[in-house]
Amino acid sequence: MATFISKSPEETLALGEQWGREARPGWLVGPTGDLGAGKTQLVKGIARGLGITERVHSPTFALVNEYRGGRRPLFHLDLYRLETRAQIVSAGLEEYVCALTGVVAVEWVERWFDSITDAQRACSAGISVRFVRIEAPAEAERRIVYEDTGA
């Protein structure tokens, strides 16, 4: 596990941008944390690192936003409004979660997968997974703890 301390939204964006520059197809990143913790800010950075110039916003009500203008597609899901795996499946989101053609960012990923191993089992061997926990120990500080596994 690795930890990054962000002192501003710009630093969180920069971390995501670095991750986006390094991203390969078949990467699933699952940021978790309280409302307002910085999950969407991190995904905005990933989009920027992928070269996506569209405005990135939380898909809380749409459930998924697709961005295809970068060097690889980004599928941004938000599971906040869904409480069970059955609801996620009935919403038709399975096809996105294990997409090997692009990068998948799933906010509230813990509503789908219990662990990284669970995510890998649900998908193919070609997926790599980064679970991210964002905590706010102070108003202007975010502790971003992440763990990787997979291809």
Express each pLDDT in 122-134 by its tens digit.
666 567 889 899 9
**Residue for token digits 């789908």?**
112
21 φ/ψ angles, rounded to the nearest 5 degrees: -65, -30
Tell me whether residue 4 is in a domain: no
**pTM for the whole thing?**
0.90
Enclosing domain of residue 133? 24-144
Tell me whether residue 90 is in a domain: yes
Tell me whether residue 2 is in a domain: no
Tell me whether residue 46 is in a domain: yes
Tell me whether residue 7 is in a domain: no
Buried b / exposed e across 83-98, counting CB within 10 Å, b at 16+?
eeeeebeeeebeebbb
Band the pLDDT of 47: cuts 50, 70, 90. very high
Tell me whether residue 127 is in a domain: yes
Q: Which residues is 29 bridged to in the sheet?
A: 105, 130
Tell me whether residue 121 is in a domain: yes
What CATH code is carried by the domain that includes residue 63? Answer: 3.40.50.300
Instruction: Provide the number of structural domains found in the chain.
Output: 1
Express each pLDDT in 48-70 by its tens digit.
999 999 999 888 778 899 999 89
Tell me whether residue 10 is in a domain: no
Distances (CA, A) of 74 to 34, 45, 49, 101, 104: 23, 12, 11, 9, 6
Question: What tokens appear for 86 in the block?
Answer: 């059955």
